[in-house]
Amino acid sequence: MASPNVVTLTDSNFQAEVLNSPVPVLVDFWAPWCGPCIQLSPVIDEIANERAGKAKVGKVNVDEAQALAAQFRITGIPALLFFKGGQPVGQLVGRQPKSEILSKLDALA
């Protein structure tokens, strides 16, 4: 079950939710047909719950938001982008351990 702390990101809300966010943002670029994306999803939900209020976590379905995927040059998924102050400041591609994701996210706080 998806976490209520995970924001579904689209072309229309990306600016407000990510680029204008006062806290660091972790963006998960994924697709429903991507096995590693599905495996990573519960980890992303856990991070969203654990960092609620300190960081924002959002997911972009690359099939539904192809322009966003192209804008950030997403060529492989899952791709995790880290934003601070409206700028992408880090990226992880592929299924990553939770500790690695948290390490990058917490460094932005």
Q: Given 7, 34, 60, 77, which residue is catalytic?
A: 34
Helix (H, G, I), strand (E, B) or coil at 104: helix
Residue 39's identity, in one-letter code, is: Q
Q: Residue 80 contacts by C-beta under 8 Å, 6 or more apart in sequence?
A: 26, 27, 28, 29, 91, 92, 93, 96, 101, 104
pLDDT at 45 over 90: yes
Model confidence pLDDT, tens digit, residues 80-105: 999 999 999 999 999 999 999 999 99
- What's the pTM value of the predicted model, to 2 decimals? 0.95
Catalytic, out of 7, 18, 26, 37: 37
Q: Which residue has the tokens 């204008």?
A: 20
37 noted as active-site residue:
yes
Please state, in angstroms and rounded to a whole number, the distance separating the CA atoms of residues 99 and 37: 17
Residue 109 pLDDT? 81
Q: Identify the structural domains of the chain with CATH numbers, from first to last.
A: 7-25+35-106 (3.40.30.10)
Q: Above 90 in pLDDT, residue 4?
A: no
